[in-house]
Structure 1
Amino acid sequence: MAGRGEMPMRPARPGPPMQYRGPPPMARARVEPIDREKTCPLLLRVFTKVGGHHQNEEFAVRGKEPKDEVQIYTWKDATLRELTDLVKEVALAARKRNARLSFAFVYPDKHGRFVVKEVGSTFSYGHGRGDDAKSLAELGFQIGDYLSVAIY
């Protein structure tokens, strides 16, 4: 029985119990077009290396990142093809006709340790091959992430 000023208790709703169905299906990231004339670019710290990506530990101490850094001003809608062409301007190995570039985001995990996660690859002169048309935003880039580029 409900006391004075209290609401009477209602019985639970009949029917099957709620079941956990997991997270909603992933939809492809919808990227809004960026007006590069009106939008300020971001600073992208790019670390290149011939033969493979840098190791997680090489980013562990702030200020002591690998020395082969290139700083690029770009936008989140920049494609891997655009970044490939920029890397070719500063890395001789990337200019070879058969060069393949592998891109990885470098970011801190929930424990503060840096993670190197591969996100795509391109070929130096293979327009339309690989992940050329994918943009940083589509791949999940967050402002503040670094970009590791392995040149094979």
Structure 2
Amino acid sequence: MKSHYGHLNRDNIHPLYHGQQQIIPPNFVTRDRDKMCPILLRTFIRENQFHSPSEFKSRSIVPENDEIQLYVWKNTTLKDISDLIKEVHLPARDKNTKFTFAFIYQDEKGTFAISPPLATVQELKKCEDDFKTLETLNYSYQFLAVSFDNPNNNNNSSNNNNFKKEEEKDNNNNDKSISE
């Protein structure tokens, strides 16, 4: 039984369904996931920008608060990865969210560098990038950097300032009641 696109399971990789017809990208490789061991994909996510390579000191000294560890297969698509991120990262769940992917790797000198953007996936716009797999992107156990852009996100500085002002009012009221 094939599953619908976006849900990872141990069946063969599942292409995008369009009605009853499957849309299969060129050079699409199916693999039996029961016979393949998943790999740990260390993913670092940030809104509106990638992490700076200088934030990575070694494979163990990384921006831990922004790390999502995913167990995937080499034939996992970027669309699958974006769906997994949305399951665990609330700010990325909006349908208008756009995910941009890049690799963070160590260069010949041992310092961390970031690749140019590899692909962009968006829920509302289906495109070839949805079908790119880790294998087709020549993944070789680098970190995956993900920048997500949510145009509907209303977290701007004026909202944050309003929240702080309300908090200050509450604190001032508490101070008055304590002194009385």
Same fold by TM-score, threshold 0.5 exceeded?
yes
Q: Aligned partners of 2:83 and 2:125: how far apart in 1?
A: 11
Seq. identity, %: 37
Q: Aligned partners of 1:73 and 1:33: how far apart in 2?
A: 18
Q: Aligned partners of 1:99 and 1:109: how far apart in 2?
A: 31
- Per the normalisation by structure 1, the TM-score is 0.73
Q: 1:128 Cα deviation (Å)?
A: 1.9
Q: 1:39 Cα deviation (Å)?
A: 0.6
Q: Unpaired runs of 5+ in structure 2?
A: 1-26, 150-180
CA deviation digits over 1:79-118, x for unaligned, max 9? 0010010010111221112111011111111111111112
Cα RMSD, aligned residues only: 1.7
Q: Between Structure 1 and Structure 2, whose CA radius of gyration is higher? A: 1
> Secondary structure at 1:131's aligned position in 2?
helix
Paired residue for 1:20? none
Q: Aligned partners of 2:59 and 2:72: how far apart in 1?
A: 23
- Per the normalisation by structure 2, the TM-score is 0.62
Q: Aligned partners of 2:97 and 2:35: how far apart in 1?
A: 35
Are 1:116 and 2:111 an aligned pair? Answer: no
Picking from 54, 57, 60, the partner of 1:60 is 57
CA deviation digits over 1:14-38, x for unaligned, max 9? xxxxxxxxxxxxxxxx675322011
CA deviation digits over 1:17-68, x for unaligned, max 9? xxxxxxxxxxxxx675322011101111011111110001011234220121
Paired residue for 1:47? 44
Picking from 107, 129, 147, the partner of 1:131 is 129
Letter in 2 for 1:74: V
Structure 1 pair 140/106, CA: closer, same or farther in 2 (3 Å)?
same
Q: Aligned partners of 2:143 and 2:31: how far apart in 1?
A: 21
Paired residue for 1:77? 75
Paired residue for 1:149? 146
Q: Aligned partners of 1:120 and 1:151: how far apart in 2?
A: 12
Higher relative contact order (CA 8 A, sep 6+): 1
Q: Unpaired runs of 5+ in structure 1?
A: 1-29
